[in-house]
Structure 1
Amino acid sequence: MLPAELPIYWNGLPFRAHQVGRKLQWLLARGEIRQLIAGLYVDVRVPDTVELRADALRLVVPPNATVCGRAAAWLHGIDTTALSPEPFRPEWTFAERQAVEVHGLRVATPAATAIELAKHLPRPFALSAVDGLLHGGMPMSDLTTASAAYFGADSTSQAAQLLRIADGRAESPGESWLRLRLFDARFPRPELQVPVEGNGRTYRLDLGYPDLPVDGRRLGLEYDSDQRHSSTKQQLKDETRRTELDALGWHIISIRRTDLWGSYPALELAVGAFLCQQPRLPRRW
């Protein structure tokens, strides 16, 4: 790691790429620093907090500007994975916006941010961003009130459709993307965080259809992230859990990131086969 006399690189403050010049790639390769968003970095040992994110944005956002778009969602606490496949650049505006103050920065409100992202981001990231804002505490009533100024009740626009299926119970971007796959395939709307009682404990499924039994069995879907479900120990634990749920009458389909991206419709075909429904194909993303 970095020398002991510099326990936190530049006292833990975020910095811009040009401030380290040629050392940037060397520091990244050694795992000394991490990228916050495009062009902004920090020592890997500095915890990710809203205050840190505000400090980073202050390096690039002009005075009196309003942080908006993905940068606003990030400052409201949304993980970058939910916003973009790649590090994104900070966004701000001098136009009039509904705004709040976050650690000294003027930031578009969560509801205004949600609507903006629903309108402009690619559909998977638009949904995971709005879900993330709801999960972080934005009231659904705020989103409903704000959206009324943009969309009619019968609007078929991308944003209006995504706001109708947004749900703060989603606990990860992968769960949001999985739900969008089911929506696009025209399957029934699943329940989220489904409790299953048995074996003296309560299991919780990411998504499921508790009210649509087929031959006495029910369908559950779980998103297994690479980060948390790749070790041999965790995979054995997951397999044991699925066996226990199978004995309780639940058929579990385990979904990995590679199942959610690309043109092959294995996920839709597996769900359709169990529910005895023909999915809409081809996949839309």
Structure 2
Amino acid sequence: MDPRVVAALSANGGVIRYAQLLDLGVSPGEVRHLKRRNVLHPLRRGVYTTTELWDSLDEWSGRPRLVARAVILTVQRGWVLSHNSAADELGLATLRPPVPLTHLTRPGWTNAWTENDVKHHLAGFAESQVVETNGVKVLGAARTAVDIAREHGVIHGMVACDSALRLGLEKSALIAAYDRMDKWPGRRSIVTSVDLADGRAENPHESLGRHLVVEAGIGEPDLQFPVRTADGIKWCDIRVGNHIIETDGRIKYRSKANGGVADDVEQALWDEKQRERLVRDRRTVVTRVVWEDYWGRRRVEAVCRLRADHEESVRLYGRELAPELAEEAAAIRAAYGDRRPA
């Protein structure tokens, strides 16, 4: 391919318009030839990327992000990327939405419609809420997080709000972002999501684990709780009283060759088993939850298991955190902060 076209694609975030191809000296016949040879991949009418780039991207955020960039090139001025489309550009962690769509917003009376896999939102926003990232105008992280809560509900909202706090936002920024939404549909989901938001959750798995703990009604969850053991400090995902809840991701037990992080899968499993024993030795009860526990019938079973394990921790060690564990945790956090060292 003409190196000038490659340069333009790179400068445009991986997308290029038909008119720009012509401006670079590529004839209509050459464009048809590149499409037939599967070198160019159409994203929207008159907007392309390379098939090589498209094939290299995941279906979770990579491809939707590229499609959103193509969409914003085809609409009139005034529209900005929002909701999940803005989150992809901003690096906000989100859950896969029920229906994958590109989201656009422009000022207007609150309204929305979907056409050609694009959801158009009319909603007021301040100019200060618009940021430019990767050459694309998007609503900022605080507004995007609360929009996701309003659009998709509390579970999605908690994940997005936690992620916004991890990026360095204060909770006050999230509150300010929904302050003008007094009578907007979905406001209750926003308020709940922001109230429950906690930037100490390191990933969506931990956000969902905390949501499950809150639903179980066993007490206020404390995140990134350090326990001093015979083998050093072990940072636990969630704690309520003397009850530890660990969110297990399969990636920890998958080899690097298969897309995981384990050098040795057998050793990773053994190390985790040893780690759990060390934490239990400090007079705690440990519950492990996996991704499948958050959905459907498994969710009901997981809530029952959390409640039963919590009652066991109360029976064995009392309802309040053991003073020794509390004092040690306070000292460790004073030295390292509220989140485990990288």
TM-score, normalised to structure 2, is 0.61
Q: 1:220 aligns with which of 232, 241, 244?
A: 244
Larger gyration radius, structure 1 or structure 2: 2
- What amino acid is aligned across from residue 65 of structure 1 in structure 2? W
Report the Cα offset of residue 33 of structure 1.
Answer: 2.0
2:274 is aligned with 1:274: no
Provide the identity percentage.
Answer: 21
Q: 1:140 aligns with which of 144, 165, 171?
A: 171
Measured against aligned partners, the alpha-carbon deviations of 1:120-158 in whole angstroms (never above 9, x if no partner) come to: 114322211111111112221211223333359xx9922
| Residue aligned with 2:71, SS | coil
Equivalent-residue separation in structure 2 for 1:250 and 1:171 (angstroms): 22
Q: 1:234 aligns with which of 254, 265, 268?
A: 268
Measured against aligned partners, the alpha-carbon deviations of 1:8-65 in whole angstroms (never above 9, x if no partner) come to: xx8796359x9867968xx99xx95223568938xxxxxxxxxxx5x76432213542
Report the Cα offset of residue 191 of structure 1.
Answer: 0.2
Residues 33 and 276 of structure 1, relative CA distance in 2, 3 Å threshold: same
Contact kept, 8 Å, 1:39 with 1:89, in 2: the verdict is no
Give the structure 2 partner of residue 177 of structure 1: 208
Residues 102 and 194 of structure 1, relative CA distance in 2, 3 Å threshold: same
- What amino acid is aligned across from residue 74 of structure 1 in structure 2? D
| Residue aligned with 1:115, SS | helix
Residues 273 and 258 of structure 1, relative CA distance in 2, 3 Å threshold: same
Give the structure 2 partner of residue 50 of structure 1: none
Equivalent-residue separation in structure 2 for 1:158 and 1:137 (angstroms): 22
Give the structure 2 partner of residue 76 of structure 1: 90
Give the structure 1 partner of residue 105 of structure 2: 93
Contact kept, 8 Å, 1:15 with 1:40, in 2: the verdict is no
| Residue aligned with 1:128, SS | helix
Give the structure 2 partner of residue 260 of structure 1: 294
| Residue aligned with 1:249, SS | coil
Residues 228 and 269 of structure 1, relative CA distance in 2, 3 Å threshold: same
Residues 142 and 260 of structure 1, relative CA distance in 2, 3 Å threshold: same
Contact kept, 8 Å, 2:150 with 2:187, in 1: the verdict is no
- What amino acid is aligned across from residue 90 of structure 1 in structure 2? T
- What amino acid is aligned across from residue 219 of structure 1 in structure 2? H
| Residue aligned with 1:83, SS | coil
2:175 is aligned with 1:163: no
2:231 is aligned with 1:196: no
Normalized per residue, the structure richer in helix is 2
Residues 207 and 104 of structure 1, relative CA distance in 2, 3 Å threshold: same
Measured against aligned partners, the alpha-carbon deviations of 1:204-241 in whole angstroms (never above 9, x if no partner) come to: 111012xx2xxxxx211111112223433322221111
Equivalent-residue separation in structure 1 for 2:152 and 2:217 (angstroms): 22
- 1:48-67 mapped onto 2 (5 Å cutoff): 57-61=68-72, 62=75, 63-67=77-81
Query: Post-superposition, which runs of at least 4 consecutive aligned residues in structure 1 deviate over 4 A?
Result: 10-13, 18-24, 36-39
Equivalent-residue separation in structure 2 for 1:107 and 1:142 (angstroms): 17
Give the structure 2 partner of residue 40 of structure 1: 63
Equivalent-residue separation in structure 2 for 1:103 and 1:11 (angstroms): 11
Contact kept, 8 Å, 1:37 with 1:90, in 2: the verdict is no
Contact kept, 8 Å, 2:82 with 2:104, in 1: the verdict is yes
2:118 is aligned with 1:107: no
Deviates more, 1:97-106 or 1:111-120: 97-106
Residues 156 and 146 of structure 1, relative CA distance in 2, 3 Å threshold: closer
| Residue aligned with 2:244, SS | strand
| Residue aligned with 1:14, SS | coil
Residues 246 and 158 of structure 1, relative CA distance in 2, 3 Å threshold: same
Equivalent-residue separation in structure 2 for 1:22 and 1:252 (angstroms): 56
After superposition, the CA RMSD in angstroms is: 3.6
Report the Cα offset of residue 77 of structure 1.
Answer: 0.7
2:238 is aligned with 1:207: yes
